[in-house]
Structure 1
Amino acid sequence: MRALAAALLLAFALPVVAATHPAAVQDDYPRALSEARARGVPLLVDVWAPW
């Protein structure tokens, strides 16, 4: 029953979170860092290589 309640909570909470997230900051680490600090949220750094 707890698993079902948790799944339902996530199912209804994810669209709200997705609708309120800020746009991604690309190629500007200082700006991204300052925005994350101002909002009090962690900074996610996504890196990849084409090789």
Structure 2
Amino acid sequence: MRTALLAALAAASLSAAVPAAAAAPKGVIEDDYPRALAEAKARNVPMLVDVWAPW
């Protein structure tokens, strides 16, 4: 019982110490090309497409 309680407390403290994934900055649209294109056309601004590959 005591070991389970200590494990639960350790897990809770680790999850609190690791920040959640940061939200995209204002004006950034991730993984929705049609929406990004429509918004750029509506605002009459250029669109930057940033692509990468893990290899």
TM range (shorter): 0.5 to 0.7
Cα deviation, 1:19-51, whole Å, max 9, x if unaligned, reads xxx520000000000000011001110000111
Name the structure, 1 or 2, with higher relative contact order (CA <8 Å, separation 6+). 1
In 2, the alpha carbon distance for the partners of 1:23 and 1:43 equals: 11
Q: What is the number of equivalent residue pairs in this alignment?
A: 30
Amino acid at match of 1:45: V
Give the % identical residues.
70
C-alpha RMSD of matched pairs (Å): 1.0
Structure showing greater radius of gyration is: 2
- Compute the TM-score of the two structures, normalised by the length of structure 1: 0.54
Runs of 5+ unmatched residues, structure 2: 1-25
User: What's the TM-score once normalised by structure 2's chain length?
Assistant: 0.50
Q: Point out the structure with the larger helix share.
A: 1
